[in-house]
Chain A
Amino acid sequence: MKKTKTSKRISKAEGKRLLHQMQLIRRFEEKSAEVYTETKIRGFLHLYVGEEAVAVGVIQALDEDDYILSTYREHGHALARGMDPGAIMAEMYGKVEGCAMGRGGSMHLFDKNIHFYGGNAIVGGHLPLAVGMALASKKQGKKNVTCCFFGEGAAAEGEFHESMNLAALWDVPVLFLCENNLYAMGTALKYTHSEQQLEKKGPTYGIETATVNGMDLLEVMAATQKAVDYIRKTGKPYFLVCYTYRFRAHSMFDAELYRDKSEVEEWKKQDPILQFKKFLLEEQLITDKEIAAMEVAVEKQVQEAVDFAEKGSWEPVEDLCRYVYTETQGS
């Protein structure tokens, strides 16, 4: 395993695009929290604020036909993948215009067209799926990569270990992308893992492994690019651990008894958006004015998503039993 250092230069346009994505995620999440308190969104709502650099940095390194599987904290991944914010918001509203007809809600965002396979809310449960999808790609002779996001909590599940073993055993092109935000819900890493350097778990399965500072967009980009290049070249799995931190509570109903406010404040100094803005300004890839304009544009985009969701419609109750079995014509 190795630490990846960044020194990547990017263009003005790319810089703006990436900043825009991160800001969109940040603002979208804040808005989600707001409308949640207005009871527009119900169920669990897990926000990604603070971890934006991971989703954006990883997904920009992926191709269109790569598969992505994510967790219940997946709004950021869906947005970074290009899912329409309106469709996501409508899904969280439970409206039929949502990306999964409103059937899934916040934890189950799906869009087959952009190869976004959830929105999987059983911790660790989607890791075997990712291995299977990568296995299918291998059998089908496809060159795509399956990228599977999961948190460090999942690394304690049996399914993590089974999946690492199977992927290495079968040599399938899967990127195990661990977003280590240090807390499994409210239980710190040190209370849940005998070996807290999760990156040590990869090599025991013979899997190429790296870690990266998940608060630094450019580092995440570089590390992911390297991982993806490796996978495409070898067809083998790769384990990338991103050290990151969520600034908000685990979910909406969380008193955050498990960590000090000072700890959160300390991490906020590393806010990936602030850091990246600073970088762009220093490198003269963006101006303050442009940033201000971008913020206005993002605000508008998010408001449009909310408006879209508000205007959406409820699926008729008569349709309750749809999507349990495939509807075949005529039956």
Chain B
Amino acid sequence: MISFKMPSLGADMEDGTLVEWRKQPGDLLKRGDIIADVDTQKGLIEIEFFGDGVLEKQLVEEGHKVPVGTVLALIRPTGDAGELEMPEAAPKAKQEAVPTEPPTQEKKITSPPVAEEKGKRIKISPLARKIAEMQQVDISQVIGTGPEGAIVKADIEKCLVEMKMAPEKEVVDKPAEVHQQEPLQQSAIPESEAIRRAVAAAMSRSNQDIPHYYLEKRMDMSKAMAWLKEANKERTVQQRLLPVALFIKAVAKALDDVPDLNAVWENGLQRKNEINIGFVVSLRTGGIMVPAILNADTLSIDAIMACLNDIIPRARAFKLRSSELSQSTFTITSIGEGGGDKVFGVIYPPQVGIVGFGEIREEAVVHEGMIGIKPIVDVTLAADHRATDGLVGGKFMAALNKYLQNPASL
């Protein structure tokens, strides 16, 4: 029997309120099923189940707030007729997926690589783990055939073959039908206020802990705008590309060139393998959310745009998956029309940098000895001086500018 516990979705999550059971006793559970909605300080989060089984018993009633690690339900794994309990606590202590949580939010576990399945650590060979990480295979989804059920290389390879056959856009599944409003009234504080508090906590921590340094660079957008105009000619209104998609891709590529900024500061600088670009979404009720575009460096601009179109409305409806919220490795903030020429971001810890795009506007600029009118954008970088120095920041800005001057290369 598996003890399904209140997950820890971040170091700062201490408890959660079980808002709604999405599965009932007797229901068949498949890997990846949402079993319940939990309200946290950071908002409503869908809780996912990582095994296969049958929901045996619910142990916490809706509306109750319980600490992380509390057993929420008993689940009988399929395939065994109910043997021993796994009482080992160590519930959701992710060791590797360092909580790169965004400024605001909820979250839910999606593939913390070392995490546990059915309440215990996943056994996987070092080689299989390495391949899984390189190929971005969620090992909680892989069935091991090695000794003691460990996942070995062959299992990952099999999984990769299956993934190739599956439809490719797995990143943004579960779209709009999840839209129905959840009973927010159960949480003690209004959601907008919870988010306000979370933002306050994160930003205060950043300001206290992180010595920021700033760089600013004016970038010529004429080529980028021309390219967008050209690209949008062939696209429907729904498909139309916005500059922000271009920015995300350019930032991702620049991070690939300057990996020290795609990192976290935790006992020193630790580079991240994936480039997941978080972008700040302002909520109408106040506060912000920072969903991430996973592996943005590998996505086309169209794919990024599609993600944005999918994620932004869900963010505003508080309907994000935890992987979208917890996995960003770098953040972009873009101030949008009329808001300001420049925006200087506050780093979301433990990330080490945030880039800000001001409003794109026309300015008189000197070019080759002539004054002309060009679209420009003022780009700023705020970076953690513990992790990098201005030289690294400068390299990043130069790389970013290079990509914006050559949009076709994106």
Direct contact of A and B (CB under 8 A): no
